[in-house]
A and B are shown apart, each in its own frame.
Chain A
Amino acid sequence: MKKIEKSIDQVFTTIQKMNGKSSDIKTRKIVQNQWQIGILFLQSVSSDDKISDILIHSIMEIMEDHTVSEKQLFQGLYNHLYNGTIKEITTYQDLFYHLVNGFTAILVEGENKAIVVETKSTLDRGIQESNTETSLRGPKDSFTENIVVNQGLIRKRIKDPNLYFEELFVGRRTKTKINLAYLSDVADQKRVEKIKKRLQEIDIDGILDSGNLRSFLNSQKSVFPKIMSTERPDFVCGFLLEGKIAILVENTPFVLIFPTLLIDFIHTPGDYYQKSYNVNFSRFLRIFGFFITLLVPAAYIAIMTYNPEMIPDKLFISVAVQREGVPFPTAIEILMLGITFELLRECDLRMPSKMGTAISVVGGLVLGDAAVNAGIVSPFAVIIVAITSIAGLLFSDIDMVNALRWWRLIFILFASMCGMIGVVIASILLITHLSTLETFGIPYLTPFAPFYFKEQSDALFLKIKTKIKDRPRYLSYKNKRRLNWEVKK
């Protein structure tokens, strides 16, 4: 590690050489009396106002102060500068790191060290409402790209000294700051260590989003998501209180939650803000939607092409009359419609929202209606695909939606090959697959397999909230009790 030289000019040239004379490196030399002071900062990440109004102003004051002796200038600056964050550094590596983080370096001729002072400019948007996870009730704020703000949003909610933020850096070039947040007296310490070790092992040039970390934290091959990401601070706090661990990554509003199980995708943290009776209905819909989106197209193909005896006469004849003249086999018809829907969805994601109307006109009117009228697809198949797709979008987590899309395809393939038996085979495959998964030692299907009786109070359905007093046992063994409450009459 190269040490900082004594000469200001030499430091200036070295820094400029290091960065290929980038245009945003600004230097200034102040000469007064016998003293020479160099100021060095990156214009792109620092606030000009802070530097000129406060920093240079206070430097001038100190230099004019004749009580400061010649040799004490460095110490005097260090003690008297008007700033909260001030550090003394000696190497170029440190110097550059602080410069890109919006610090200003103050060099004194003849000293081989530098003072860095925080003069960061705010490059972040403010705290806004989340537009990926909305709920009718509950706080509206969401995380931003600034990790300190994100920490603050969590701290604001949990004012407990046991809330730890463990910091580490990943990425050779991006030096991305990562924070592990957990409640030290609730979360499983072994799990924290394990995650920390995994993160430290990552040797990659850059981490741009928390999504980059996913594949490093998950060793099993599966389309099902085992890490949930959210941009709602209240959701994260809810998980932390349960005993889970959150990973905050610099420059992204999405916070990862560990460990995540299948059941967490059926629940939404917003459930706990409402009456449990009403929540149970929407949970039922979500579970129902899970099965509809997986099974309906497959069951349709299986019944219509292999086992038509299974449905009532009137329905059967109605479908048969509708299929009259459709040139494609049922399976192809469903696949075609399904792919059309996915195309529309992909378009909608990529296009700016102003184009949305055009897409829905083309998708809904032209493709749907015209395809039926032209006799390319039967109206019943359109209904099937529509129901399937709508049910698939019930889940707020995009990874879950995409995972179900893959498995829907597998179900369709099996159904088109061997009918109802194929659907059964695919179901067995799915259950087998799900039960082989685990996240950080917890089986993915917990609390159903393995079955925990006590945890059923908040599994498929939510019991009255005053009756759920303990944390889920599979998440944390220590500090189990959450609620002390006797029903008062």
Chain B
Amino acid sequence: MKKKLFLFLFISIFSLLLTGCYNYHELENLAIVTGLSIDKNENQYIIGVLIANSKKQEASSKEGQSQTIVYEGKGNSIMEAFYNIDLESPKQLYIGHLAVVVIDENIAKKEIEKISDILIRSPESRKNFYVVIARDTKAKDILKITSPLESYPSQSVSMNLKNNSTYQGISTDLTYSEFIASMLTPGINPTLPTIKMTGSVKEGEKQQNLESTDPKTKLKLDTLAIFRNTNLLGYVSEDESRMINILNRRTSYSLESIQYKDNRIVFHLSNFNIKRKATLKDNKPMMNISLQATAAINEINSNMNLSDPKIITEINQLLEERIKKQILHTIHVTQNEFKSDIFGFGNLFYQKYPKYYSNIELHWDEEEYSKIKMNVKVHIDLETKGSLEQTIRREMYGKTTK
């Protein structure tokens, strides 16, 4: 009896071990999709998947040597296009480690909600991949461009997004779940980063592109894309992108420059502290925005006396004014040009004055948003001047030189 029981357990354990169970995959049977592009022709979606572990090069097994391949599939829906690719790919497509989704401009303009469902519904996807809009080029081409510094294209795009978002703030590393959340939350409209390609695809998809020290084809991050609800309206400028990211607390560092007499001074901004407060007086909405930050002088291309406290205060004031102007300008553009509340001011009113907001919810973006009065306060602490106390000329020849 005991022997039979043991035999039964033995067989059952090993049968479970040898055959697959639910959700069981062996790694070598998976095609790891790290990038996904979505384009559309007249009536069909065209998706491209970038597979990272396509071929083992000889006996080498280092990650850097993994080769990538892009498959293309067409279908009336994204899922159908995926099935189409399954016919070509010998391995099962696995989107758990998806890093970047590139969406075609034209889809973003009209029907981004139609393609959003599959990526959030699939239990396999992690929802922390980045979404980026391909500007002036097909989304699929972005995936094809081999990248010189990273092992595969999607990795290069996501690293680029992450770094730029942290250190400069022109682009933003909005994850998919954040994007969907800002699309669905009342009173907020999403923004998405964009990407461009310089050069031709034919050059870029070749391995030779990597071997050159000055690759012909490169990918370049571009400014933010502004949405209203689910539709792409247009793009803002670099300065505006930067301000949008600062006000939305999406960047930790940024740059700003001013013209002081003949001197061009570039500042490095950090330690942002942004307060946004919605007030309603006599049914007139008003936003109080206060921005505090620390600035450090990054570059001065002239010869001025930096040890003069008067000049420093003057520069500081100029910088504050410049930033304030920038903020007001950026908000003005979104209020009047795009009529899209990408800052989420509407959401602040929705939280604080739900009754007021419920009356105007339907035409918040088109009408009410542009009526908000802005009260902007900027306070900058100019803390350091970098490694030099003075300008370079004064450091070398003493303070008497002019």
Interface residues of A (CB under 8 A from B): 304-306, 308-309, 313-314, 316-326, 329-332, 373, 378-379, 413, 416-419
Cβ–Cβ contact A329 & B61, under 8 A: no
Give chain A residues whose Cβ lies under 8 Å from the Cβ of B30.
308, 320
Task: Return 13 A-B CB contacts under 8 Å, by A number.
Answer: A304-B27, A306-B25, A319-B27, A320-B32, A321-B53, A321-B63, A321-B66, A323-B26, A323-B27, A324-B28, A324-B56, A331-B17, A413-B13
- B42-60 toward A: CB 8 Å interface, digit per residue (1/0)? 0000000000110110010
With A317-B63, A323-B28, A326-B28 given, is the CB distance from A308 to B16 under 8 Å?
no
A416 to B152, CA, bound (A): 31
Q: In whole angstroms, how far apart are the Cα atoms of A384 and B3 in the complex?
A: 34
Residue B75 at the chain A interface, CB threshold 8 Å: no
Interface residues as binary, B5-26 with A (CB distance below 8 Å gives 1, 0 otherwise): 0000000010011100101111
Chain B residues touching A, majority SS: loop
Which 4 pairs between the two chains have the least Cβ-Cβ distance?
A318-B63, A324-B56, A309-B96, A322-B61
Question: A326 to B96, alpha carbons, bound, how many Å?
Answer: 22
B322 near A: Cβ within 8 Å?
Answer: no
Best-surrounded residue of A304, A322, A330, A417 (most CB of chain B within 10 A): A322
Interface centre among A320, A378, A419 (most CB of B within 10 A): A320
Contact partner of B65 (CB less than 8 A), chosen from A308, A316, A321, A378, is: A321
**In the complex, B290 has a CB within 8 A of chain A:** no
Taking a contact as CB atoms under 8 Å apart, the answer to whether A324 and B17 are in contact is no
8 Å CB contact of A320 from B18, B53, B62: B53
Within the assembled complex, what's the spacing in Å between the Cα atoms of A419 and B25? 11
Distance of A326 Cα from B97 Cα, bound (Å): 22
Q: What's the least CB distance linking A320 to chain B, in Å? A: 4
Contact partner of A317 among B16, B52, B126, CB < 8 A? B52
B28 and A320 contacting across the interface, CB-CB below 8 Å: yes
Nearest B residue to A305 by beta-carbon distance?
A: B24
Expressed in whole angstroms, the Cα–Cα distance for A316 and B21 within the complex equals 21
Taking the closest CB of chain B, its distance from the CB of A416, in whole angstroms, is: 5
Bound-state CA distance A353–B77 (Å) is 68
With A305-B24, A306-B24, A309-B124 as known contacts, state yes or no: A321 contacts B56, CB within 8 Å: yes
The residue that A417 contacts in the complex, of B13, B34, B96, B155, with Cβ under 8 A, is B13
With A and B bound together, what is the CA distance between A208 and B361 in angstroms?
Answer: 90
Chain B contacts for A373, CB-based, 8 A: 59
Cα A326 to Cα B26 in complex, Å, equals 10
Q: Are A317 and B97 in contact (CB under 8 A)?
A: yes
With an 8 A cutoff between CB atoms, is B99 at the interface?
yes
**B66 with A330: CB separation less than 8 A:** no
Of chain B, the residue at the smallest CB distance from A308 is B96
Task: Give A306 to B20 CA distance when docked, in angstroms.
Answer: 10
Closest A residue to B158 using CB positions: A313
Q: Contacts of A325 on B, CB cut-off 8 Å?
A: 28, 56
Complex Cα distance, B13 from A417, in Å, reads 8
Contact of B34 with A418 in the complex, beta carbons under 8 Å: no
Q: Known interface pairs A317-B34, A417-B17. Does A308 touch B27 (Cβ–Cβ under 8 Å)?
A: yes
Cβ of B59: which chain A residues have Cβ within 8 Å of it? 373
Residues of chain A contacted by B155 (CB below 8 angstroms): 313-314
Starting from the known contacts A314-B155, A329-B17, A416-B17, 20 additional A-B residue pairs (CB-CB under 8 Å) come to A308-B94, A309-B124, A313-B97, A317-B53, A317-B152, A318-B62, A322-B61, A323-B27, A324-B28, A329-B26, A330-B27, A331-B17, A332-B18, A379-B61, A413-B17, A416-B16, A417-B17, A417-B21, A419-B23, A419-B24
A326 nearest CB neighbor, chain B only:
B28
- Closest residue to A331 on the B side, CB-wise? B17
- What are the residues of chain B within 8 A of A309 when measuring CB–CB? 96-97, 124, 126
Chain B 283-311 near chain A by CB (<8 Å), digits 1 or 0: 00000000000000000000000000000
Looking across the interface, which residue of chain B has its beta carbon closest to that of A332? B17
A373 to B59, CA, bound (A): 7
**Contact between chains at B97 and A316 (CB < 8 Å):** yes
Q: How far is the CA of A279 from the CA of B32 in the complex (A)?
A: 45
Which residue of chain A is the closest to B23 with respect to CB atoms?
A: A306
Q: Is the CB of B27 within 8 A of A313?
A: no
Complex interface: chain B residues within 8 A of A313 (CB) = 34, 97, 99, 155
Q: How far is the CB of B54 from chain A (nearest CB, A)?
A: 9
Q: How far is the CB of B60 from chain A (nearest CB, A)?
A: 9
Tell me how far the C-beta of A104 lies from the nearest C-beta in chain B, rounded to whole angstroms: 55
Asked if A308 contacts B61 (CB within 8 A), the reply is no
- Which of chain B's residues have a CB closer than 8 A to the CB of A318? 62-63, 66
* A330 CB contacts on chain B under 8 angstroms: 26-27
Of the listed residues A316, A326, A332, A373, the one surrounded by the most CB atoms of chain B closer than 10 A to its CB is: A316
| Interfacial chain B residues near A332, Cβ < 8 Å | 17-18
* B52 proximity list for chain A (CB < 8 A): 317, 320
Give A317 to B28 CA distance when docked, in angstroms. Answer: 11
Tell me the nearest residue of chain A to B64, going by C-beta: A318
Contact of B61 among A316, A378, A416 (CB under 8 A): A378
Q: Given the complex of chains A and B, what is the CA–CA distance between A320 and B59 in angstroms?
A: 14
Contact partners of A418 in chain B: CB under 8 A: 21
Q: Would you call A417 and B18 a contact (CB within 8 A)?
A: no
- Smallest beta-carbon distance B256→chain A, Å: 34
Q: Mark B146-160, 1 if CB is under 8 A from A, else 0.
A: 000000100100000
From A317, A318, A323, name the one whose CB has the most chain B CB atoms within 10 angstroms: A317
C-alpha spacing A258/B160, complex, angstroms: 63
Residues from chain A with Cβ under 8 Å of B26 in the complex? 305, 323, 329-330
For the complex, give the distance between the alpha carbons of A326 and B61 in Å. Answer: 12
By a CB distance below 8 angstroms, the chain B residues around A379 are 61
Residue on B nearest A317 in the bound complex, by CB: B52
> Distance (Å) between the CB of A60 and the closest chain B CB?
70
Q: Separation in Å of the B97 CB from the closest CB of chain A?
A: 5
A411 to B124, CA, bound (A): 25
Collect the chain B residues with CB atoms within 8 Å of residue A419's CB: 23-24
Cα–Cα distance between A44 and B96 once the two chains are bound (Å): 76
| Chain B minimum-CB-distance residue to A314 | B63
CA distance in complex: A143, B16 (Å): 50
Chain A residues lying within 8 Å of B56, measured Cβ to Cβ, are 321, 324-325
Q: Which residues of chain B from 91 to 112 have a CB within 8 Å of any chain A CB?
A: 94, 96-97, 99
Question: Please, which residues of chain A bring their CB within 8 A of the CB of B16?
Answer: 416-417
Name the distance in Å between A379's Cβ and chain B's nearest Cβ. 6
Residues of A within 8 A of B124 (CB): 309
B17:A317 contact, CB within 8 angstroms? no
